[in-house]
Copies of this chain bind each other. A is one copy, B any other.
Amino acid sequence: MSILVVGSVAYDDLETPSGRRENALGGAATHFSMAASFFTKVRLVGVVGDDFEQKHIDLLKSRDVDVKGLTIVPGGKTFKWKGKYGLQLNEAQTLDTQLGVFGSFKPVLPDEYKKSEYVFLANIDPELQLDVLRQAENPKLVACDTMNFWITGKPDKLKEVISKIDILLINDGEAKMISGENNLVKAARKVSAMGPKILVIKRGEYGAILFANDKMFYAPAMPLEEVKDPTGAGDTFAGGFMGYLAKTGKIDNENLRKAVICGSTMSSFQVEDFSLDRLRTLTQKEIDARMKAFKELSHFDL
**Chain A contacts to B: CB under 8 angstroms:** 17, 87-88, 182-186, 203, 205-207, 209, 215-221, 223-227, 254, 257-258, 260-261, 291-292, 295-302
Contacts and interface: CB of A to CB of B under 8 A. Distances in A.
Contacts of A257: 299-301
Contacts of A183: 224-227
Nearest to A261: B300
B216 A223 contact: yes
A302 B296 contact: no
A218 B258 contact: no
Task: Pick the 3 closest A-B CB pairs, nearest first.
Answer: A218-B220, A206-B206, A257-B300
Contact of A218 (B185, B223, B226): B223
Contacts of A218: 207, 220-221, 223, 297-298
Nearest to A291: B302
A292 B221 CA distance: 22
A190 to B, nearest CB: 12
Contacts of A203: 206
Contacts of A88: 182
Most buried by B among A88, A218, A260, A297: A218
Contact of A87 (B182, B226, B295): B182
A217 B297 contact: yes
Contacts of A216: 223, 297
Looking at A88, A218, A300, the one whose CB has the most chain B CB atoms below 10 A away is: A300
Nearest to A226: B183
Contacts of A217: 297-298, 300
Contacts of A258: 300-302
Nearest to A254: B301
A44 B206 CA distance: 35
Nearest to A87: B182
A226 B207 CA distance: 21
A227 to B, nearest CB: 7
Nearest to A288: B302
A17 B218 CA distance: 26
8 contacts: A184-B205, A186-B225, A206-B206, A217-B297, A217-B300, A218-B298, A219-B300, A257-B300
A206 B221 CA distance: 11
A166 B72 CA distance: 61
Contact of A220 (B215, B220, B254, B299): B220
Given A183-B226, A225-B183, A225-B185, A215 B296 contact: yes
